[in-house]
């Protein structure tokens, strides 16, 4: 459905780490990223980059700082603990094997997330991989740039589809409306990544917002007039309709839909706040873990000092006994 010169290629990424180089007390992970078509039949490109764990961590922090939220994919912690509560260093074999798997999984989830694409389309990811992700997916190519009116072509195409959708009924209308809504979301994501003058960006944003509002009105409107529910199903005298409440009795179907949307919106906001609280607790737990690791290091150092002192005392006692025996 995309317009000419601005087609979107759906691809899949296969990510793995086969080799690790350890030099000078530093481990570098050979991250292999291969790009395949959606069906997994044809490999389009493969690249290998060597990165330290600290570089993966710096990428994660930069993405979170730039996007203003925590990245949702699991990332291996800086400090790894194994049996006996002992902490291991970055060149330990167990740490390397653990990070090989988790770093590859982290990048795979980031690149293959088709819903929240802001992470993989960030320029830091392209720089990290040495691969233009946007170009691979034909969102915005640097070698073959789409015409400047490519976005507008797509917008007009979806607007024509919207006009056709208005003439449809029932399931077909709902299905096409959902499809158009998804395409408008893609247009919004593209608009956020394009370099445009502020006035042009505002103009396109208003066009997009207006079309979204028209689409929302279409999905909740009916060609038949709204009939009060009490006229459709009349309750028995002295009884109320099943599921009816005092609060909902005064609303018609359209008003109830709006109330439900508002309730969903409030629930989403509460879930977002809960998410932030959980993320904060997670951060506190990680800080506590880091603090405990430092304390364990101090205890280990103290234990070593005690062992050395005990050894010196044994040697002194042995010499004293030898001296007395003479």
From residue 226, how far is each of 84, 223, 250, 326 by CA, in Å?
A: 69, 9, 14, 115
Last residue of a domain, one of 100, 135, 170: 135
pLDDT for 29 equals: 94
Query: Are 61 and 85 a contacting pair, CB within 8 Å?
Result: no
Return averaged pLDDT per consecutive 10 residues of the chain, 326 residues in all.
46 88 89 82 86 93 90 81 53 86 91 81 91 69 43 85 83 80 87 85 89 83 48 47 56 71 83 87 87 84 85 86 79
Burial of 267 per CB tally in 10 Å (0-12, 13-18, 19+): exposed
If one counts every other C-beta atom within 10 angstroms of the C-beta of residue 134, the result is 19
pLDDT at 15: 92
Burial 57-92 (b: 16+ CB within 10 A, else e): eebbebbeeeeeebbebebbeebbeeeeeebeebee
Clarify whether residues 281 and 150 are in a common domain.
yes
Q: Return the pLDDT at 77.
A: 86
Q: Are 286 and 77 in contact (CB under 8 A)?
A: yes
Do residues 133 and 122 touch, judged by C-beta distance below 8 A?
no
Domain end: 102, 135, 168, which one? 135
Q: How far apart (Å, rounded) are the C-alpha atoms in residues 194 and 150?
A: 11
pLDDT at 104: 92
- Same domain? 177 vs 279: yes
The pLDDT value given to residue 198: 87
State whether the Cα torsion 146-150-154-160 is positive or negative. negative
Q: Say if 294 falls within a structural domain.
A: no
CATH number at residue 40: 3.30.1520.10
pLDDT in tens, 56-78: 999 999 999 998 888 888 898 87
Overall domain count for the chain: 2
Q: Give yes or no: residues 152 and 127 share one domain.
A: no
What integer pLDDT is reported at residue 54 of this predicted model? 92
- In a domain, residue 156? The reply is yes
pTM over 0.85: no
- Taking the C-alpha atoms of residue 16 and residue 105, their distance in angstroms, rounded to an integer, is 8
Report yes or no on 245 lying in a domain: no
The residues that bridge with 47 in the sheet, in sequence order, are: 33
Domain annotation covers residue 164: yes
Identify whether 252 is part of a domain: no
Q: Are 123 and 142 in contact (CB under 8 A)?
A: no
| Position 312 in a domain | no
Residues 6+ apart with CB under 8 A from 10: 37, 38, 137
CB atoms within 10 A of CB 52: 13
Domain encompassing residue 131: 9-135
């Amino acid at each position: 459905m995309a317009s000419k010169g601005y087609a979107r290629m759906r691809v899949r990424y296969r990510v793995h780490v086969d080799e690790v180089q350890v030099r000078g007390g530093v481990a570098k992970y050979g991250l292999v990223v291969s790009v395949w078509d959606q069906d997994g039949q044809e490999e389009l490109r493969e690249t290998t980059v060597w990165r330290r764990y600290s570089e993966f961590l710096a990428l994660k922090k930069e993405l979170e700082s730039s996007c203003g939220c925590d990245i949702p994919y699991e990332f291996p912690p800086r400090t790894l603990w194994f049996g006996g509560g002992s902490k291991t260093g970055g060149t330990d074999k167990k740490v390397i094997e653990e990070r090989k798997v988790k770093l590859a999984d982290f990048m795979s989830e980031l690149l293959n997330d088709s819903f929240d694409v802001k992470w993989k389309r960030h320029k830091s990811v392209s720089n990290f991989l040495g691969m233009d992700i946007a170009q691979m997916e034909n969102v915005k190519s640097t070698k073959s740039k789409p015409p400047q009116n490519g976005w507008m072509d797509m917008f007009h195409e979806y607007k024509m589809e919207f006009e056709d959708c208005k003439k449809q009924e029932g399931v077909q209308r709902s299905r096409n409306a959902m499809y158009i809504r998804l395409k408008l979301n893609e247009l919004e994501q593209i608009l956020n990544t394009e370099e445009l003058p502020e006035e042009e960006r505002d103009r396109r944003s208003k066009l997009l917002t207006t079309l979204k509002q028209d689409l929302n009105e279409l999905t909740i409107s009916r060609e038949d007039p709204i009939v009060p529910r009490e006229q459709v199903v009349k309750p028995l005298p002295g009884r109320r309709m099943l599921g009816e409440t005092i609060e909902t009795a005064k609303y018609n179907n359209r008003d109830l839909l709006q109330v439900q949307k508002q309730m969903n919106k409030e629930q989403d906001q509460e879930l977002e706040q809960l998410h932030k609280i959980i993320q904060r607790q997670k951060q506190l737990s990680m800080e506590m873990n880091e603090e405990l690791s430092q304390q364990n290091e101090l205890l280990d150092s103290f234990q070593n000092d005690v062992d050395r002192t005990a050894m010196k005392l044994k040697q002194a006692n042995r010499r004293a006994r030898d001296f007395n025996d003479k």
